[in-house]
Chains A and B, each alone.
Chain A
Amino acid sequence: MIGYTCKYTPVELLEAFGAEPRLLNSEASNFDYAQSVTHMNMCSHMKAFLENVHNSGIKELIMVNCCDSVRRVYDVLKDDMDFIFIMDLPHNDNSCARIHLRDELMRLAEEYGRYSGKTFDSELFRLAFVPEQKIPREKYIALLGARVGDGLYSTVNDMVPLPVRDLTCSSNRSVQLSPADEGFSQLMEAYAAKLLGQIPCLRMADLAGRRELTEDPYLAGIIYHTVKFCDYYGFEYESLRRKTTVPMVKIETDFTMQSLGQLSTRVGGLVESMGIREEKTMTGNGKYFVGIDSGSTTTNVAVLDRNGSLVDSAIVRTGAKASKGAEKAFQALRVAKDDIALIVATGYGRNNIDFADDSVTEITCHARGAFHMDNRVRTIIDIGGQDSKAISLDDMGKVKNFAMNDKCAAGTGRFLENMAKVLEMDLDGISKAGAMWKEDITISSMCTVFAESEVVSLIADNRQIPDIVHGLNKSVASKTMALVNRVGGESRYMMTGGGARNEGVVGCIEDMIGEKVIVPEIPDLCGAIGAALFALDAAEGK
């Protein structure tokens, strides 16, 4: 078995030598080995690839010098393999490039032949080309962008009620050749042309062929995947975001199984915004409708009557378990359990609340709740404990677009909580102190850990606490504004989530937007109110 990772790998040529090429595309459980032999900021896929190779004991590899990380992984592995070859792939697709690739293919054939002791079998080569399968004409969701691991594909597939086609980097391979009776050099030149003629990946010079991926009339939506520390696909996402007419959501993973848990809100939000969510049949006889927003810091519950009026609410600390937090929040309510007709859960822990009748993502719930409270709102800024997000709404209050922070905590409530600890204050103290600033300090570090060290230096430098807090507020506001700009934020703006209680952060955001933002009386309840409205809808058969 010979491992590979790139779609430009000449797998048919290897099969012509009797080799069994295998795409190494699994997520890693950790990067212990990878980080011991290279750097933590390398492309996460290539770190997972290193883990794969290390754990599987694979001893034959064929690599393509498609990016910096691949080249460095080749350097790391080259002395440990029985056979390893790196093929120089041109960026262009013209006659000179094809000749260059032809020479590379011939070099591979020679080296692999020498290593394996086998010769090129033209019949095996012919058989290696798998005829293209006919794709059914039906609406589908395309998984685009950087490669996805096996685990991610199956997770997304389970979450989306339409067929999902994996058209990411290594999965949209299509090489067809009917070898004619010609010399080996001509054959390899024709093969090189076919390899280079595939839908180009982002490292190629001419990307016109990628339009095929997004101009299919059956394309219903796009889940765009980027891999942490692979910079290529972020650029295409941004370009598509500005142009595409189909719903699209971006997900980023670090090629570990752990990162998959973060995807449900984003993918769920897309599914809900497309109106393709599989509806649950819910019935209930009580008079109240409950929404539970299970966040990383607090669990918030809103209770509505049949008129949609808020009759009860509770906000409690979530604690270690989402389900326990939800039970605690329920105990804090005044309404009797028997009077509750339906419960819809939202938030990070929404799928872990057993007694909820249904769950809806916090994206859709915040949109619903915010528009219900004030129908002038077109942009919601939600700064939660571990997520911050911006959601843009249309005139009907439906989600037009949304963006969330990546795994990094900068710009979230957790960031301010950590900084409050460093300053030996609580969040209320931070909120008050931020309003009393005099000197305009900028906290420039974008990483939470670096920022903490910057704050420690400022304390050591005898800078005033309110000035430091103002610097932190500006940092959170700046991160948040990047999300607002990504969704094309428009007036009027509403701030929700615990972050909206921080007057300093609200003030900084207002300065950046240039207008006052709407802050609901209890900003933490917006998502729960939205969820309760969905419960009410369900009861009324909407």
Chain B
Amino acid sequence: MKDLVKKFGEFTTEEIRRKPRRARKILIGAFRGFGVVTRYAGNKEDLPARKYLMYLCNEAMAGPLAHPDGTVIVSIFTPCEFLQAMGLKPVFPEGLGCYMTASACENVFLEKAEECGVPETLCSYHKMLIGMAETGVLPKPACIVNTSMACDANQLSFRYLAEYFHVPHFLLDVPTGCSKTNVDYMASQLHDMVDFLQETTGRYMDPEKLAGIMNRAAETIGNYRKILALKAVKHEKTKITYHMLDIFATHVLLGSEEVLQYTERMIRDLKKLPESTPGVRIMWVHTMPYWQKSVADIFNYNDKIEVVSCDMIYDGFTELDPAKPYESLSRQMLKNHFNGSGQRRIDRVLEYSRKMNIDGILYFCHWGCKQTLGCGPMAKAAFEQAGFPTLTLDGDGCDSRNIQEGQMVTRIGAFIEQLEALK
């Protein structure tokens, strides 16, 4: 499989260099094809719900590439419920970044971005998106909307892309702290954002449709809480890719009918598993290099080691009031554990680690994410004080040039041995 992906990557890379539009079509076809194959004939060990999620996410990546007119480039924390209510599709760096690397054609984009003067130290997801635009693979969107949270890269890549594509750009300036003034400040910006989207795209934001989406979003978060509660007492033999897909589902895809269905199916599938938690159980913090074979080989379909969850799945879990979408979604952003002090994230990770019977925490320092890596020593100390052995692991969520395979594998291996000895 690895050789097949490698060959696909080499072939697509050549096409990207020569005929980027054709390369885009190849990528669209590959994502859709792989999604359908996984849904109906994927790995037997995967829960059916998981396969359905793969299909959904692949479609979410392919759709906007195929129909750019109705797309908006967004940051992962942008409340996309409003976009859904207007029939607009989101494109976001973390999603495409992962998919390009999983397709083994990331280098051509990353190198192109660096050639264009993008700093090598920028978050690789954002660098990838710029490279995709500069090579001509990423089509021109209708407009760009992003939040100032959670990281500096948002302030740079989206502005760059707006200038590159000559499209309107809207920034949601997210303050820290969830005071009433801040909620009002955010809510007024969300109103402005809706006006901006309506004006820019000519689409109407139907309040009734938004109410339905908000109901589904609230229900989906409720279901996710149940999923995490089930995962606290059950062992799911799976691959780490699905945690990354869960991140997409709880962010830009939240509120869709399909994601709600996925969570319902997931609850049913998990209930069928026996109550047992063999092996060591790990909480992953931050994004995942799921495409990295050496890392995947350690965790995927392993009875003795399970990555149980990832903190980016539950960073925005708040109570949503469908009757007050603007205030609710403002609160969701303000209360997100990425917003503000690093202690908030540490506390939330500890809360879920305790709830989910976790043995150890893997804190992944994704290249360029100063938010995460700056807090590394502090988080490690706090987790260990709370009784959770912690591994701080340097790597990259989507740039294979930035990793040192051998060292990563040794460190993960030693960490697992440490956890096994403590069991």
User: Which chain A residues lie closer than 8 Å to B73 at the CB level?
Assistant: none
**Bound state CA distance, A39 and B373, in angstroms?**
6
- B182's nearest neighbour on chain A, judged by CB, is A100
- A90's nearest neighbour on chain B, judged by CB, is B173
**Bound state CA distance, A321 and B176, in angstroms?**
54
B370 touches A43 (CB 8 A): yes
Q: Does B276 contact A (CB under 8 A)?
A: no
Contacting residue for B402 out of A38, A205, A238, A447, CB 8 A: A447
Closest CB in chain B relative to A240 CB, distance in Å = 10
**Bound state CA distance, A447 and B395, in angstroms?**
13
A482 touches B114 (CB 8 A): yes
**Bound state CA distance, A339 and B163, in angstroms?**
60
Which residues of A in the span 231-286 have a Cβ within 8 Å of any Cβ on B? 231-232, 234-235, 237-239, 241
Number of interface residues of B (CB under 8 A): 54
B341 touches A234 (CB 8 A): no
Contacting residue for B400 out of A92, A226, A228, A444, CB 8 A: A444
- B341's nearest neighbour on chain A, judged by CB, is A75
Which residues of B in the span 223-254 have a Cβ within 8 Å of any Cβ on A? none
User: Which chain A residues lie closer than 8 Å to B406 at the CB level?
Assistant: 453, 457
Closest CB in chain B relative to A54 CB, distance in Å = 14
If A91-B148, A205-B171, A235-B160 touch, does A41 touch B402 (CB 8 Å cutoff)? Answer: no
Q: How large is the interface on A (under 10, 10 to 19, 20 to 34, 35 or more residues)?
A: 35 or more
Task: Pick the interface stretch among A65-73, A118-126, A308-316.
Answer: A65-73
Q: Does A417 contact B (CB under 8 A)?
A: no
User: Which chain B residues lie closer than 8 Å to A226 at the CB level?
Assistant: 119
User: Which chain A residues lie closer than 8 Å to B111 at the CB level?
Assistant: 478, 482
B342 touches A71 (CB 8 A): yes
B374 touches A446 (CB 8 A): no
Q: Does A306 contact B (CB under 8 A)?
A: no
Q: Does B352 contact A (CB under 8 A)?
A: no
Closest CB in chain A relative to B38 CB, distance in Å = 27
Closest CB in chain B relative to A88 CB, distance in Å = 5
User: Which chain A residues lie closer than 8 Å to B407 at the CB level?
Assistant: 453
A205 touches B152 (CB 8 A): no
A90 touches B175 (CB 8 A): yes
Which residues of B in the span 121-149 have a Cβ within 8 Å of any Cβ on A? 121-122, 148
B370 touches A41 (CB 8 A): yes
**Bound state CA distance, A69 and B153, in angstroms?**
12
A selection of 8 A-B contacts at a CB cut-off of 8 Å is A38-B375, A232-B152, A444-B401, A446-B401, A447-B401, A450-B403, A481-B115, A482-B114
B375 touches A234 (CB 8 A): no
Interface residues as binary, A37-61 with B (CB distance below 8 Å gives 1, 0 otherwise): 1110111000000000000000000
Q: Does B167 contact A (CB under 8 A)?
A: no
- B340's nearest neighbour on chain A, judged by CB, is A71
User: Which chain B residues lie closer than 8 Å to A482 at the CB level?
Assistant: 111, 114-115
User: Which chain A residues lie closer than 8 Å to B378 at the CB level?
Assistant: 37-38, 75-76
**Bound state CA distance, A310 and B160, in angstroms?**
50
**Bound state CA distance, A69 and B121, in angstroms?**
13
A68 touches B404 (CB 8 A): no
Q: Does A202 contact B (CB under 8 A)?
A: yes
**Bound state CA distance, A202 and B160, in angstroms?**
12
Q: Does A203 contact B (CB under 8 A)?
A: yes
Beyond the given A72-B375, A445-B402, please list 9 additional residue pairs across the A-B interface where CB-CB is below 8 A.
Answer: A39-B373, A39-B376, A75-B378, A100-B182, A228-B121, A235-B156, A235-B159, A238-B118, A453-B404
**Bound state CA distance, A245 and B403, in angstroms?**
40
If A39-B365, A68-B370 touch, does A241 touch B117 (CB 8 Å cutoff)? Answer: yes
Q: Does B107 contact A (CB under 8 A)?
A: yes
Q: Does B343 contact A (CB under 8 A)?
A: yes
Interface residues as binary, A440-480 with B (CB distance below 8 Å gives 1, 0 otherwise): 00101111011001000100000000000000000000100
- A residues lining the B interface (CB < 8 Å): 36-39, 41-43, 65, 67-69, 71-76, 88, 90-92, 96-97, 99-100, 103, 202-203, 205, 226, 228-229, 231-232, 234-235, 237-239, 241, 406, 442, 444-447, 449-450, 453, 457, 478, 481-482, 485-486
A71 touches B341 (CB 8 A): yes
User: Which chain B residues lie closer than 8 Å to A239 at the CB level?
Assistant: 163
Contacting residue for B173 out of A39, A92, A99, CB 8 A: A92
- A96's nearest neighbour on chain B, judged by CB, is B185
Closest CB in chain A relative to B369 CB, distance in Å = 8
- B339's nearest neighbour on chain A, judged by CB, is A71
A69 touches B188 (CB 8 A): no
Q: Does B120 contact A (CB under 8 A)?
A: yes
A67 touches B152 (CB 8 A): yes
**Bound state CA distance, A122 and B183, in angstroms?**
32
Closest CB in chain B relative to A98 CB, distance in Å = 11
Closest CB in chain A relative to B81 CB, distance in Å = 22
B153 touches A75 (CB 8 A): no
If A72-B375, A444-B400, A450-B404 touch, does A231 touch B175 (CB 8 Å cutoff)? Answer: no
The 4 closest A-B pairs by CB, nearest first: A72-B374, A238-B117, A234-B119, A68-B370
Q: Does B367 contact A (CB under 8 A)?
A: yes
Q: Does B155 contact A (CB under 8 A)?
A: yes
A88 touches B177 (CB 8 A): yes
B377 touches A38 (CB 8 A): yes
- B186's nearest neighbour on chain A, judged by CB, is A96
- A444's nearest neighbour on chain B, judged by CB, is B401
Q: Does B368 contact A (CB under 8 A)?
A: yes
Q: Does B181 contact A (CB under 8 A)?
A: yes
A100 touches B376 (CB 8 A): no
User: Which chain B residues lie closer than 8 Å to A96 at the CB level?
Assistant: 185, 188-189
User: Which chain B residues lie closer than 8 Å to A234 at the CB level?
Assistant: 117-119, 122
B155 touches A65 (CB 8 A): no
Q: Does B371 contact A (CB under 8 A)?
A: yes
Closest CB in chain B relative to A431 CB, distance in Å = 24
Contacting residue for A97 out of B107, B116, B173, B402, CB 8 A: B173
B173 touches A91 (CB 8 A): yes
Q: Does B297 contact A (CB under 8 A)?
A: no
Q: Does B405 contact A (CB under 8 A)?
A: yes
B152 touches A203 (CB 8 A): yes
- B403's nearest neighbour on chain A, judged by CB, is A450
A91 touches B374 (CB 8 A): no
Contacting residue for A231 out of B152, B340, B343, B377, CB 8 A: B152
User: Which chain A residues lie closer than 8 Å to B341 at the CB level?
Assistant: 71, 74-75
**Bound state CA distance, A453 and B407, in angstroms?**
9
Q: Does B151 contact A (CB under 8 A)?
A: yes
Contacting residue for A229 out of B181, B343, B370, CB 8 A: B370
**Bound state CA distance, A43 and B182, in angstroms?**
28
User: Which chain A residues lie closer than 8 Å to B122 at the CB level?
Assistant: 231, 234
**Most chain B beta-carbon neighbours within 10 Å: one of A36, A43, A71:** A71
Closest CB in chain A relative to B18 CB, distance in Å = 13
B175 touches A75 (CB 8 A): no
**Bound state CA distance, A289 and B114, in angstroms?**
41
If A91-B148, A482-B114 touch, does A75 touch B401 (CB 8 Å cutoff)? Answer: no
A445 touches B371 (CB 8 A): no
B343 touches A75 (CB 8 A): yes
**Bound state CA distance, A243 and B153, in angstroms?**
23
**Bound state CA distance, A445 and B404, in angstroms?**
8
Contacting residue for A37 out of B118, B189, B377, CB 8 A: B377
**Bound state CA distance, A411 and B376, in angstroms?**
31
Interface residues as binary, B158-179 with A (CB distance below 8 Å gives 1, 0 otherwise): 0110010000000101011100
User: Which chain B residues lie closer than 8 Å to A43 at the CB level?
Assistant: 370
A72 touches B188 (CB 8 A): no
If A75-B343, A75-B378, A100-B182 touch, does A91 touch B370 (CB 8 Å cutoff)? Answer: no
- A454's nearest neighbour on chain B, judged by CB, is B405
Closest CB in chain B relative to A40 CB, distance in Å = 9
A202 touches B155 (CB 8 A): yes
Closest CB in chain B relative to A96 CB, distance in Å = 5
Contacting residue for B115 out of A72, A237, A485, CB 8 A: A485
Closest CB in chain B relative to A486 CB, distance in Å = 7
- B153's nearest neighbour on chain A, judged by CB, is A231
**Bound state CA distance, A57 and B375, in angstroms?**
22
**Bound state CA distance, A203 and B153, in angstroms?**
10
A237 touches B117 (CB 8 A): yes
Closest CB in chain B relative to A351 CB, distance in Å = 29
